[in-house]
Amino acid sequence: MFEKLEALALKYEEIMQRLSDPSVTSDSGTLTDLMKQQNELLPIINAYRAWQDNEKVIEDSEGLLKSEEDEEIRELAKEELSSAQKNKEGLERDLKKLLMPKDVNDDRNVIVEIRAGAGGEEAALFASDLYRMYVRFSERNGFNIETTDVEDTGIGGMKYVSFIINGKGAYAKLKFESGVHRVQRVPDTESGGRIHTSTVTVAIMPEASEVEVEIDPKDCRIDVFRSSGNGGQSVNTTDSAVRLTHYPTGIVISCQDEKSQIKNKAKAFKVLRAKLYDLERSKAHEKEASLRKSQVGTGDRSEKIRTYNFPQSRLTDHRIGLTLYSLDKVMDGDLDEIIDSLARADEAERLAES
């Protein structure tokens, strides 16, 4: 670890020297790239310098204890040594965190799919509730939502909904949401007051670029049709909706949210790229899973990750044993405590492995 830190320190010094070079400051492209590297390295360099300063205190204090006879000075040296030794573990833990490989997808936009599972109409109603929960969460974080496709039930429920969340860090926030979400509550249609259990599946996929996922146009069929459901003047009047079929995988994407056929087609390809990218990631994850099973879940969409118990206003995340009694806030998009807890659990496990 310290060999790597020394190499990064040398790289940082080299960057600082180049930033003071007039030929570099006049080249906006190079200047921007170097400043980006500097900003990425600065937290690591500051933490490494703090560790080095602490090591110097330990070295000096131990030297004084070996050479100094004055009891008062020795007591001061003992206190400084004790304090520095306590700090050492925390400083090294901070360095390990900073050196952990960052998920390359963390800063990306995400494509979200929500599907009603077991439970009929009640599952569809809860799928609609989860959709609103993620919309409110996005609003709280300054993210933008683009709905791509909805299959509603006509009475407020959603059998299926697909949407894009645009915003830097969206994937980092939501990547642990994939899986089966279980709800326990009394449906409005239940006259006997019995609690029903229903399930909804959530899939979170990072957006992929055209460079990362190339799609051969020959592998796709594009059908256009008239959009349906609630909407504006274009509904049922123009062939603006797009259905994209990818022959090699059998994936079918429908997009009818935009009035423009061109925009719907672009969105459909965006979702298809994310799905193909997700397939490749899943294959790699399966190989990794045989060696490591994450504390925060396998990422498998069939895995039950969370239960929402409405009668007791209780939420339980089964992966990390987290229980909250603030379900109303959660359903209003206040997911910070859940997301932070999951991120800490993942970080702790990766630290233990390192």
d(CA 184, CA 334) in angstroms, rounded, equals 20
Which structural domains are found in the chain, ordered by start?
2-99 (no CATH), 110-350 (3.30.70.1660)
pLDDT score, position 301: 59
Fill in the DSSP letter of residue 292: -
Mean pLDDT of 103-128: 92
Q: Which two tokens stand for residue 210?
A: 């055209």
Q: What's the angle, vertex CA 90, arms to CA 88 and CA 94, rounded to 5?
A: 115
pLDDT score, position 234: 42
Of 344, 348, 339, nearest in space to 306 by CA: 339
What are the pLDDT digits (tens) for 328-352? 999 999 999 999 999 989 888 877 7
**Res. 259: pLDDT tops 70:** yes
Three-class secondary structure of residue 242 per DSSP: strand
d(CA 83, CA 354) in angstroms, rounded, equals 26
Task: State the average pLDDT for the chain.
Answer: 87
d(CA 292, CA 153) in angstroms, rounded, equals 40
Q: Which two tokens stand for residue 313?
A: 């206003």
pLDDT score, position 233: 41
Helix 71-99 vs helix 28-67: angle between axes, to the nearest 10 degrees? Answer: 150
pLDDT score, position 193: 78
d(CA 215, CA 104) in angstroms, rounded, equals 21
Element at 151 (helix H, strand E): strand 144-152
Chain mean position to CA 144: 15
What are the pLDDT digits (tens) for 19-51? 888 888 888 888 888 998 999 899 999 999 999
Q: Taking the model in full, what pTM does it have? A: 0.73
pLDDT score, position 258: 78
What are the pLDDT digits (tens) for 294-315? 546 555 557 899 999 999 999 9
Distances (CA, A) of 203 to 119, 161, 180, 280: 19, 11, 9, 15
pLDDT score, position 238: 63
